[in-house]
């Protein structure tokens, strides 16, 4: 467990909140500062790896500033994903292995269908291709803004930029926060931002813990209990140094989970999961001349997973001394180097090229148990990690990826521009892949923009897909093909200072999705299904006055089909709601009080037995105090709606023979937080 943190946080003087009087609006509290046109012209880098404005970018882009996220009570990644058009997170309270994220009808466990970046540096691991295996509770405490590609991004970013790219841009600011929350929760953050001899140094430290909700269990495989809790603890450190065109960042995440429905759980009191992730990287940008600018970057990432749980056994007499404890001890590490070259060929043409090299492996991937599983099931008296090569959970194989990309942007006239790009990725263990894209952007007027886009994307088989051993329970396959996506999008945007609407029509054809097959009592990985989906995303914002703003967004899946016969993969159409969205009201009651109400809704999901239409309410009030201080009160699931989230795989079978693959969600959560920025 994390040492000494709880004792440290208990000393935070929450009573100090009561001694502060009302004054001017706190720094960063106002969400009405910019008009919609100004927001749409804010430069973003995620779509082209250089500054472009949102309306002219060759992708469908969503951007969220720190002020916007704060005004909605968005504090960690899963909450953010649920406010992005086309995205829907089916993540359970501990954000477990079988959780998944839906993007335009496509769902994938571990969130491996989306590429996550922090300040442009890759966060996904190569063991699963996703982020939830080593990092389940990514906080947004020090976020500056978030840039999102809604749709394929492999032509720039390669694997896992399958149906979206999320770039989280962080920069800790000088300040302090302390919070108390439901479920006996508490936490806080401290930020320091200082300029020393033209170098900007920033450090952010954030901590949170709670004892978990009392969650009713509708289904327990062994009938041992009918309720549980989901306690959580996490620490986040963000250190950055910036000097002119040089930047260095180090990130550290540490989280602990207990009980609930963690992987292979038998009952509470025997299950624990400790995760940590470390990433450090540098970037350097410089101009060679007026036409050419280069950017070099390097990153090292490592992660550790330490799990333990009690397993059910067919014959208890085989393990008479104590519970049969079983777990995994896994390390992951990767090194990445990249070079990007941006060249202005003429007044109407921009040519961008890049190279990337990545090496990754699982140097340690072993089994833990209190019995000698490789002998005669001898009781060892303590938990031991078995570290022989023939006792591995996953084979130790080195993955090496070499990639190049090129893209040409042309301005044909004042109204029309095109983007033509392609990326080539070569894997030492799974072959090569080309990823092209073409975008045409036409502005009918300063307010109206039409985009037509075609993109191809892919998800390479992960190290786990290829080399998993799982003690004979799951077998990787070295012959897997990458999953591929062909996507066509049509986007229409109309933007005025106080009114904006964006509509996107998409058609996705997915091939060779990776899943499980069973043969001769062995479960192995294979390319098991194709999928086809068509749908619409729409997003509308209306600023009625300087104090009132309305937002609505929705995703409608017109059609989704998949063919998974003979496999153990759940059909995508059974995992996906056909319609989901959010309605929001932002109201500045007076110069000192901002309020927010958000309504999240979705229609039925076939795998959930409670297949009713779901609506949850979320609310927040921010009360500004003197000296850039504020009090923030947030409630999620205001009316304590009972609902479940889906599981990517079957968890068991009900008495009536139906499959069970859902997790009960947390109920109402409230947070009271004091913030002081200086």
The three state secondary structure string of 227-290 is EECCCEEEEEEEEEEEECCEEEEEEEEEEEEECCCCCCCCCCCCCEEEEEEEEEEEEEEEECCC
Neighbours of 333 (CB within 10 A): 18
Contact assessment for residue 204 and residue 238, using Cβ atoms and an 8 Å cutoff? yes
For residue 570, is pLDDT > 60? yes
- Which residue has 């997790």 as its token pair? 663
Q: 398: which DSSP letter? A: -
User: How confident is the model over 634-653, as a mean pLDDT?
Assistant: 89
Please report the pLDDT score of residue 12 as a whole number.
34
For residue 657, is pLDDT > 80? no
Contacts of 413 (CB under 8 A, 6+ apart): none
pLDDT digits (tens, 9 = 90+) for 574-589: 899 999 999 999 999 9
For residue 471, is pLDDT > 60? no
Q: What's the alpha-carbon Rg for the chain, to the nearest Å?
A: 25
Please report the pLDDT score of residue 32 as a whole number.
56
Contact assessment for residue 671 and residue 634, using Cβ atoms and an 8 Å cutoff? yes
Q: 76: which DSSP letter? A: B
Please report the pLDDT score of residue 263 as a whole number.
58
Q: Rounded to the nearest 10 degrees, how much is the dihedral formed by the CA atoms of 623, 626, 629, 630?
A: -10
User: 171 in helix, strand or coil?
Assistant: coil
Burial (CB count <10 Å: 0-12, 13-18, 19+), residue 390:
exposed
Please report the pLDDT score of residue 13 as a whole number.
32
Q: Which residues pair with 393 in a beta bridge?
A: none
Please report the pLDDT score of residue 95 as a whole number.
67
Task: For residue 602, give both structure tokens.
Answer: 């979705």
Please report the pLDDT score of residue 73 as a whole number.
92
The mean pLDDT value of the chain amounts to: 88
Burial (CB count <10 Å: 0-12, 13-18, 19+), residue 198:
exposed
Q: Which residues pair with 532 in a beta bridge?
A: 509, 561
pLDDT digits (tens, 9 = 90+) for 262-279: 656 778 888 889 999 999
For residue 241, is pLDDT > 90? yes
Q: How far apart are CA 125 and CA 509, in angstroms?
A: 25
pLDDT digits (tens, 9 = 90+) for 372-417: 888 777 899 999 999 988 888 899 999 999 999 999 999 998 899 9
Query: How much of the chain exceeds pLDDT 70, in percent?
Result: 92
Q: Which of 45, 83, 61, 70 lies closest to 495, judged by CA?
A: 61
The domain total for the chain is: 1
Task: For residue 543, give both structure tokens.
Answer: 């600023």
Q: Which pLDDT band, with edges at 50, 70 and 90, does 474 fall under? A: low
Q: Rounded to the nearest 10 degrees, how much is the dihedral formed by the CA atoms of 68, 74, 76, 80?
A: -70
Task: For residue 144, give both structure tokens.
Answer: 């500056």
Q: How far apart are CA 295 and CA 279, in angstroms?
A: 19
Q: Which of 562, 509, 569 lies closest to 534, judged by CA?
A: 509
Least confident of 301-305, 503-507, 524-528, 650-654: 650-654
Please report the pLDDT score of residue 2 as a whole number.
43
Q: Which domain holds residue 197?
A: 5-677
User: How confident is the model over 633-660, as a mean pLDDT?
Assistant: 87
Contact assessment for residue 36 and residue 494, using Cβ atoms and an 8 Å cutoff? no
Q: Does residue 246 or residue 261 have the better pLDDT?
A: 246
User: How confident is the model over 57-67, as a mean pLDDT?
Assistant: 92
Q: How far is CA 423 from CA 84, 155, 396, in A?
A: 26, 5, 28
Q: Which pLDDT band, with edges at 50, 70 and 90, does 28 fall under? A: very low
Task: For residue 257, give both structure tokens.
Answer: 């989970």
Q: How far apart are CA 8 and CA 29, in angstroms?
A: 28
For residue 296, is pLDDT > 70? yes
User: How confident is the model over 596-621, as a mean pLDDT?
Assistant: 92
Query: How much of the chain exceeds pLDDT 90, in percent?
Result: 64
Please report the pLDDT score of residue 110 as a whole number.
86
Q: Which of 579, 655, 676 lies closest to 13, judged by CA?
A: 676
Q: How far apart are CA 395 and CA 477, in angstroms?
A: 12
Q: Which pLDDT band, with edges at 50, 70 and 90, does 25 fall under? A: very low
Least confident of 84-98, 333-347, 581-595: 84-98
Q: How far apart are CA 339 and CA 354, in angstroms?
A: 5
Q: 461: which DSSP letter? A: P
For residue 113, is pLDDT > 70? yes
Q: Which pLDDT band, with edges at 50, 70 and 90, does 618 fall under? A: very high
Please report the pLDDT score of residue 34 as a whole number.
61
User: DSSP H helical segments within 77-212, as ranges?
Assistant: 77-81, 154-157
Cα of first residue to Cα of last residue in the chain, in angstroms, is: 33
Q: Which of 343, 339, 369, 366 lies closest to 355, judged by CA?
A: 339
Task: For residue 424, give both structure tokens.
Answer: 């080539």
For residue 516, is pLDDT > 50? yes
User: How confident is the model over 642-650, as a mean pLDDT?
Assistant: 86
Contact assessment for residue 87 and residue 602, using Cβ atoms and an 8 Å cutoff? no
pLDDT digits (tens, 9 = 90+) for 336-378: 999 999 999 999 999 999 999 999 999 999 999 999 888 777 8
Q: Does residue 607 or residue 506 have the better pLDDT?
A: 506
Q: Which residues pair with 540 in a beta bridge?
A: 501, 552
Please report the pLDDT score of residue 29 as a whole number.
39
Task: For residue 479, give both structure tokens.
Answer: 């012959």
Q: Which of 127, 215, 120 lies closest to 169, judged by CA?
A: 120
User: How confident is the model over 459-467, as a mean pLDDT?
Assistant: 93
| pTM for the structure as a whole | 0.92
Q: Does residue 32 or residue 308 have the better pLDDT?
A: 308
Q: How far apart are CA 634 and CA 616, in angstroms?
A: 14
Please report the pLDDT score of residue 9 as a whole number.
38
Angle at 332 between CA 328 and CA 335, to 5 degrees: 180
Q: 316: which DSSP letter? A: G
CATH number assigned to the domain comprising residue 584? 2.40.170.20
Least confident of 118-122, 227-231, 656-660: 656-660
Q: How many CA atoms lie within 13 A of 442 on its CB side?
A: 6
Least confident of 232-236, 250-254, 495-499, 580-584: 495-499
For residue 593, is pLDDT > 60? yes
pLDDT digits (tens, 9 = 90+) for 142-165: 999 999 999 999 999 999 999 999
Please report the pLDDT score of residue 3 as a whole number.
41
Please report the pLDDT score of residue 652 as a whole number.
78
């Amino acid at each position: 467990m994390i040492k000494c943190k709880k004792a440290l946080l208990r000393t935070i003087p929450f009573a100090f909140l009561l001694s502060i009087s009302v004054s001017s609006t706190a720094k960063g509290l106002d969400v009405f500062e910019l008009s919609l046109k100004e927001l749409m012209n804010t430069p973003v880098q995620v779509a082209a790896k250089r500054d472009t404005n949102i309306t002219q970018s060759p992708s469908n882009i969503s951007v969220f500033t720190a002020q916007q996220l704060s005004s909605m009570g968005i504090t960690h990644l899963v909450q953010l994903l649920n406010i992005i058009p086309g995205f829907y997170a089916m993540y359970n309270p501990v954000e477990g292995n079988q959780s998944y994220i839906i993007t335009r009808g496509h769902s994938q466990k571990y969130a491996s269908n989306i590429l996550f970046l922090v300040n442009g540096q890759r966060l996904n691991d190569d063991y699963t291709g996703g982020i939830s295996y080593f990092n389940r509770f990514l906080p947004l405490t020090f976020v500056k803004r978030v840039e999102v590609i809604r749709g394929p991004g492999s032509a720039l970013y390669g694997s896992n930029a399958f149906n979206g790219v999320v770039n989280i841009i962080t920069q800790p600011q000088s300040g302090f926060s302390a919070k108390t929350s439901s479920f006996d929760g508490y936490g806080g953050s401290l930020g320091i931002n200082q300029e020393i001899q033209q170098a900007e140094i920033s450090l952010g430290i954030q901590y949170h813990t709670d004892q978990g909700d009392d969650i009713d269990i509708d289904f327990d495989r062994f009938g041992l209990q009918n309720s549980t809790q989901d306690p959580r603890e996490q620490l986040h450190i963000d250190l950055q140094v910036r000097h002119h065109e040089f930047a260095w960042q180090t990130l550290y995440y540490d989280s602990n989970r207990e009980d609930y429905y963690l992987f292979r759980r038998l009952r509470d009191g025997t299950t624990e999961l400790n995760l940590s992730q470390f990433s450090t990287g540098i970037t350097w940008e410089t101009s060679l001349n007026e036409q050419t600018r280069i950017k070099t970057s390097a990153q090292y990432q490592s992660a550790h997973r330490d799990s333990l749980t009690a397993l059910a056994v067919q014959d208890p007499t085989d393990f008479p001394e104590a519970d049969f404890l079983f777990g995994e001890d896994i390390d992951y590490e990767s090194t990445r180097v990249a070079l990007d070259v941006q060249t202005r060929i003429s007044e109407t043409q921009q040519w961008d090229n890049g190279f990337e090299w990545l090496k990754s492996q699982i140097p340690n991937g072993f089994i833990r148990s209190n019995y000698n599983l490789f002998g005669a099931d001898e009781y060892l008296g303590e938990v031991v990690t078995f570290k022989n090569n023939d006792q591995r959970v996953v084979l130790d194989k080195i993955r090496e990826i070499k990639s190049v990309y090129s893209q040409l942007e042309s301005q044909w006239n004042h109204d029309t521009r095109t983007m033509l790009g392609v990326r080539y990725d070569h894997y030492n263990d799974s072959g090569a892949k080309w990823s092209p894209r073409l975008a045409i952007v036409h502005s009918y007027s300063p307010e109206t923009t039409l985009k037509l886009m075609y993109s191809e994307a892919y998800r390479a088989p992960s190290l786990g897909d290829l080399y998993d051993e799982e003690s004979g329970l799951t077998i990787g396959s070295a012959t897997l093909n990458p999953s591929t996506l062909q996507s066509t999008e049509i986007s229409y945007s109309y933007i005025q200072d106080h009114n904006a609407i964006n509509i996107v029509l998409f058609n996705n054809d997915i091939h060779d999705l990776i899943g499980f097959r069973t043969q001769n009592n062995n479960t192995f990985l294979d390319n098991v299904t194709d999928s086809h989906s068509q749908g619409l995303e729409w997003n509308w914002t209306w600023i009625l006055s300087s104090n009132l703003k309305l937002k609505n967004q929705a995703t409608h899946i017109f059609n989704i089909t998949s063919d998974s016969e003979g496999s153990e993969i759940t059909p995508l159409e059974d995992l996906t709601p056909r319609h989901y969205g959010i309605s929001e009201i932002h109201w500045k009651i007076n110069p000192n009080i901002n309020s927010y109400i958000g309504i999240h809704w979705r229609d039925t999901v076939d795998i959930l037995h409670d297949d009713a239409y779901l609506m949850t309410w979320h609310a927040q009030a921010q009360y500004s105090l003197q000296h850039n201080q504020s009090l923030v009160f947030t409630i999620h699931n205001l009316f304590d709606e009972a609902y479940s989230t889906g599981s990517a795989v079957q968890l068991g079978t009900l008495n009536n023979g139906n499959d069970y693959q859902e997790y009960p969600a947390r109920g109402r959560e409230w947070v009271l937080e004091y913030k002081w920025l200086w």
